[in-house]
Amino acid sequence: MSSTDRYAKLPLLTENIRDKKTRPKTVAVVDEDNCTGCQVCIPFCPVDCIEPVSKEKYNIPIPPVQVRFNECIGCNACAKACTALTWDAIRMIKTDLVEERYNTTIK
Ligand code: SF4
Ligand code: SF4
């Protein structure tokens, strides 16, 4: 893939943080074992729901990031940015499955 093609697929950076209004069909899940912690995805998230995992969990200088599932609107911007610019460490997963896998409730 040429670099022009790669950057053409990038979402716009977020200028104004929005709020979630409806339950999304999918939410973003970070593969923490594959994430470099570069934080490139963070400014692309329109609801600002991506954050570094606490340093206590991994005890490494640059921890991976995680998504606060209940705030994610399923827009896919972070996954596109990660794939185009860094490491392809984010997958969009069905909300029902995420609830089951992480034993959580997403409104
Ligand atoms: S852009 Fe990808 S590799 Fe970088 S912090 Fe985000 S999920 Fe991790
Ligand atoms: S899918 Fe959209 S709302 Fe959810 S974490 Fe990624 S950028 Fe943020």
Ligand 2 proximity of 74 Cβ (cutoff 6 Å)? yes
Please report the pLDDT score of residue 1 as a whole number.
63
DSSP bridge partners of 51? 66
Q: Which of 65, 62, 24 is nearest to 44 (CA)?
A: 65
Q: Structure pTM? A: 0.93
Q: Which atom of ligand 2 is nearest to the CA of 75?
A: 2
Fold of 3-102: Alpha-Beta Plaits (3.30.70)
Please report the pLDDT score of residue 9 as a whole number.
80
Q: What is the amino acid identity at position 80? A: K
Q: What is the amino acid identity at position 68? A: R
Name the residue at shortest CA distance from atom 4 of ligand 1.
38
pLDDT, one tens digit for every residue, the chain (107 residues): 676 777 888 999 999 999 899 999 999 999 999 999 999 999 999 999 999 999 889 889 999 999 999 999 999 999 999 999 999 999 999 999 999 999 999 99
Burial of 51 (0-12, 13-18, 19+ CB in 10 A): middle
Ligand 1 proximity of 90 Cβ (cutoff 6 Å)? yes
